[in-house]
Amino acid sequence: MLDAGAVPRALKAARRIGFETYIEDPVWLAKARRGDYFVDLITGIGNATLVVNHSWIERAIPDAILGVPCKILAAEELIAAKVFVARRERFDGSDVVHLICSCGGRLDWDRLLDLLHGHWGVLFWSLALFAYVYPSQTDLVPDRVWNELIRSFDKSVRHPQKDDPFRGSLIDPNMFAIDVDERGERDLYRENCEKHPHLLRMEEPVGSKE
């Protein structure tokens, strides 16, 4: 994962050593390929609700994989990036549950809540799944987190805001296309993508410094 501004330099470096490079999705994904080898350059998530910035890199954990020094994404950012992955063809809920089980006692819950600000519902949904899968380990999640999310859920159910938009397309724009196409609901996925402030590009803007 990397900041969108770093993608042109990363792609240029990959081309120097013989990789073919291209933008798979300007919102979040570039690729570099050479033969059977490939690298995904990820700058956020596909529905444009999360964007990688410097803090993600700074918080990453130094380690080595196959003897190569690297940084591994912190659990908080990894969970935030995975809670929206709930499509027909791929569901990362088990990854989220396992991360909470492994790291729950050490998670920076304030960081996670901040990352998912405005989307607390998907975190609550993931924690409900965790409680179902690991009913004897719910104390890995602090009481204050449970209480905050339960209060938010209770309030949203008791006092629904009639102007809150439909959010199904943020989960899967294909499975919820019928709501947009036939029922006239807003397409937040399309809206987010169209107004995305950091669309990926192959080359750096003229005048930028490497």
Tens digits of residue pLDDT in 90-129: 999 999 999 999 998 899 999 999 999 999 999 999 999 9
CA distances from 82 to 96, 99, 146, 172 (A): 7, 10, 20, 13
Is there a domain that residue 6 lies in?
yes
Is there a domain that residue 145 lies in?
no
Could you tell me the two tokens for 77? 């950012």
Is there a domain that residue 2 lies in?
yes
Q: What is the pLDDT of residue 203?
A: 80
Residues of the domain holding 60: 1-73
Band of pLDDT at residue 206, cut at 50, 70 and 90: very low
Q: What is the count of structural domains for the chain?
A: 1
Please, what sign has the CA dihedral across residues 133, 137, 138, 140? negative
Q: What is the DSSP string of 115-144?
A: HTTT-HHHHHHHHHHHHHH-GGGGGGS-HH
Residues 6+ apart with CB under 8 A from 79: 96, 99, 100, 107, 112, 126
State the Rg of the chain over Cα.
Answer: 19
Is there a domain that residue 126 lies in?
no
- C-alpha of 50 from chain center: 6
Is there a domain that residue 186 lies in?
no
At 166, the amino acid letter reads F
* Structure confidence by residue, pLDDT tens digits, 13-43: 999 999 999 999 999 999 999 999 999 999 9
Contact 202, 115 (CB under 8 A): no
Contact 29, 42 (CB under 8 A): yes
Strands 29-34 and 37-42: antiparallel
Check pLDDT > 90 for residue 146. Answer: yes
Is there a domain that residue 101 lies in?
no
Percent of the chain with pLDDT over 70: 97
Is there a domain that residue 23 lies in?
yes
Average pLDDT, the chain: 94
Residue with tokens 């859920």: 153
What pTM did the predictor assign? 0.90
Burial class (CB in 10 A: 0-12, 13-18, 19+), 56: buried
Contact 203, 8 (CB under 8 A): yes
Is there a domain that residue 124 lies in?
no
Residues 6+ apart with CB under 8 A from 127: 100, 141, 145, 146, 149
